[in-house]
Amino acid sequence: EQIAVLEQAVEAVQMELQREGQKVPNMTHPEVPVGGEEQSTTLETVGDKPDFGFAVRDHLELGEKLDLIDFESAADVTGSKFYYLRNEAALLELALVNYSMSKAVSRGFVPMITPDLVRTEVLEKCGFQPRAENTQNYSIAGSDLCLTGTAEIPLGGSVMNSLLEEPALPLKMAGYGRCFRTEAGAAGAASKGLYRVHQFSKVEMFVVCTPEQSDQLHQELIDIEIEMFKELGLHFKVMDMASHDLGAPAYRKFDIEAWMPGMERYGEISSASNCTDYQARRLSIRYRPTAKPGKKKPKNLFVHTLNATACAVPRMIVAILENFQQEDGSVLIPEALQPYMGGMKKMQPKEKDK
């Protein structure tokens, strides 16, 4: 009985320590620009803005014309910032998921389908704040569960409280899951349509590695993203994000912003973050370094964790619809996705609309 009381006291102290630790963000890489988002620097620009020669439509107009996106019915059923994907758009989501997952698997990632609900403590240990006033996370009333905002959380949780052997690292996972975000404080034209929604599908890459491996793996993650978006024919910028835009866990973060002609601006479509040992300390993920002959047995060390977006579906749909639109109102399907859409090459107005 005394042991049970002591265990409860220890658990309470651990939770309090966890919450205090949330107030302390990770260190930042020496090369990270200091300041707000406007201080972020462009590392690379890929491709050119498309030259249409006709009045450009945004993805909302294209989605309505092609009968692809239904916000009106979703608003009646669920509320604002929810949507139905119809016809070719539904197939496009599946194509994007399968394309990006195939790409990740070809680079040595283990494919996983993750839970969409996680315990609050796992969310907190990954550096998110479900209890904050302006939280981005949905909590389930009457339980200790939250809806995930990214597969990064259940992927990190899958190795929580682990002691890994050094030869097993790096551990690479690619998780497919549904993401749920309150988008508290988000408003305005920059958030319209599919660009910022409450629920969406995403393929996320997650890596567990030694400290010596993390910088090189961070570069590998952004290289995979660049390769995919080049194959899809997008014009985009690779950004080294400024310190105020990193969030608590990230030591360094590279974002990719694609040109979205209908919105007349660049929009973030992916990011790749090196979180060093920030999440590992909270999730208690260590590794046992390989002992060297004649040397003293090394002590166990914390791993480093990294995460990167392989495909955030709605924003990819925005980019594809707006960049591949044609004067007749049709939209070409990027060649890399055509095998995943049964060979379909074009989305075009239905017969009744012609």
Residue tagged 């009045």 (tokens)? 55
**Would you call 327 a catalytic residue per the annotation?**
no
CA of 48: how far to CAs of 42, 51, 235, 261, in Å? Answer: 15, 9, 5, 12
How many residues are there in the chain?
354
**Start-end of H helices in the chain:** 2-21, 59-65, 71-77, 87-106, 120-125, 152-157, 214-231, 278-283, 313-323
* DSSP letter for each residue of 211-259: TTTHHHHHHHHHHHHHHHHHHTT--EEEEE--GGGSTTT-SEEEEEEEE
Do residues 224 and 195 make contact, with C-beta atoms less than 8 angstroms apart? no
What are the structure tokens assigned to 19, written together? 């919450």
Q: Which residues of 263-291 are buried (b: 16+ CB within 10 A; e: fewer)?
A: beebbbbbbbbbbbbbbbebbebbbbeee
Active site residue: 61, 178, 268, 330, which one? 268
Active site residue: 196, 252, 282, 286, which one? 196
Distance between CA atoms of residues 211 and 17, nearest Å: 24
End-to-end CA distance of the chain: give it in Å, rounded: 77
Distance between CA atoms of residues 53 and 62, nearest Å: 17
Active site residue: 271, 282, 286, 322, which one? 271
Active site residue: 57, 282, 286, 315, which one? 315
All residues at 6 or more sequence positions from 195 whose CB lies less than 8 Å from its CB, including other chains: 260, 263, 267, 314, 315, 318
Active site residue: 181, 252, 282, 286, which one? 181
**Would you call 268 a catalytic residue per the annotation?**
yes
**Would you call 31 a catalytic residue per the annotation?**
no
**Start-end of H helices in 47-163:** 59-65, 71-77, 87-106, 120-125, 152-157
Active site residues: 181, 196, 268, 271, 315
